[in-house]
Copies of this chain bind each other. A is one copy, B any other.
């Protein structure tokens, strides 16, 4: 293990406290002493012990990001933006994935990772709002995604209902009438699929098109394979649609590939629209029309939320709140931030290439 303040102090012939003063750039140190101490620091390669500092100060400068899947392009891109946004605040962002396992979501929130960070950004998958609310007293938490914690936890998302409606509208505007939806997840409580199917139905209804349950395809996950499977079922079931709105770009890319394999021309025979605007979609052939959430905005506003909470009493680990202090300083109410989105029309719903 590395050298401690004590080791450096012995070497420099001063007290532990003086070394600490040098390390923390306190002004009241004689130039000669400072020089000697700095040399000892250098020689022993001193690095402050993170655990001790954390214990004492209650702040780590770390922020956690908890997402279902690191290898999903959408979350990967978001994580990357969050890492960069965190740097502007002087924080280091650490990422972990839950695989949608509720036990793991709990573990990361309450366990060690959730303790050493000053704040958490989380995209919940399986944890119920009730469980999320239970830990309102721990480190500041910002939720991403459609899951709503009843206004008790800061929350950043896009308006999925409106976005899904816009996407569906766009397909209707192309003259399509048999518009399928891929990505229904009735067993999941996290709200994403529910809101997107609601927007889809709403747009169909507004255009006077009847909803056909056979066109609403459920999936178990949001991967390319699930999209391909759903598309094959649609095509083999004799319910061939003339357009499809997929609740994620990954689903759309899988569906696209299945449609091409089936001999369909996209967009002539089938228009395809996704959701997320991941990079793959821009380079696919044909390139993918999609709903683009303002990822940069989501990242920045999520961290701005955290920063706001952290400016407050700190509520960190170290210092216990003074019981004599007037605790009338109510924390600000939970915010519900809606980030921007826009429909990006590309080849998969436009004309021929170009």
Contact = CB atoms under 8 A, between A and B. Distances in A.
Interface stretch (A75-83, A155-163, A183-191, A302-310): A75-83
Given A71-B79, A76-B71, A257 B228 contact: no
Contacts of A92: 96, 107-108, 111-113
Given A73-B76, A95-B94, A257-B285, A60 B112 contact: yes
A250 B61 CA distance: 34
Contact of A1 (B1, B51, B315): B315
A287 to B, nearest CB: 8
Given A71-B80, A76-B73, A55 B51 contact: yes
A77 B75 CA distance: 12
Interface in A69-104: 69-73, 76-77, 79-80, 83-84, 92-97, 99
Contacts of A132: none
B73 A70 contact: no
Interface stretch (A145-153, A166-174, A276-284, A325-333): A276-284
A70 B79 contact: yes
A331 to B, nearest CB: 14
Interface residues on A, range: 35 or more
A205 to B, nearest CB: 33
Stoichiometry (number of copies): 2
A353 interface: yes
Given A2-B138, A62-B113, 18 more contacts: A1-B321, A2-B137, A51-B55, A51-B317, A70-B79, A70-B80, A71-B73, A71-B76, A71-B79, A73-B76, A79-B95, A80-B97, A83-B96, A83-B99, A84-B99, A92-B113, A95-B95, A253-B283
A34 B80 CA distance: 47
A254 B283 contact: yes
Interface of A: 1-2, 47, 49-52, 54-55, 58, 60-62, 64, 69-73, 76-77, 79-80, 83-84, 92-97, 99, 107-108, 110-113, 115-116, 137-138, 223-224, 228, 253-254, 256-257, 260-261, 279-280, 282-285, 315-318, 320-321, 353
Greatest chain B CB density within 10 A among A113, A223, A253 is at: A113
A107 B256 CA distance: 43
A320 B7 CA distance: 12
Given A76-B71, A254-B283, A353 B96 contact: no
A261 B354 CA distance: 8
Nearest to A255: B283
A263 B182 CA distance: 32
Contacts of A111: 50, 92
A115 B224 CA distance: 38
Contact of A320 (B1, B97, B138, B285): B1
Nearest to A52: B55
A1 B80 contact: no
Contacts of A116: 50-51, 54, 60, 116
Contacts of A99: 83-84
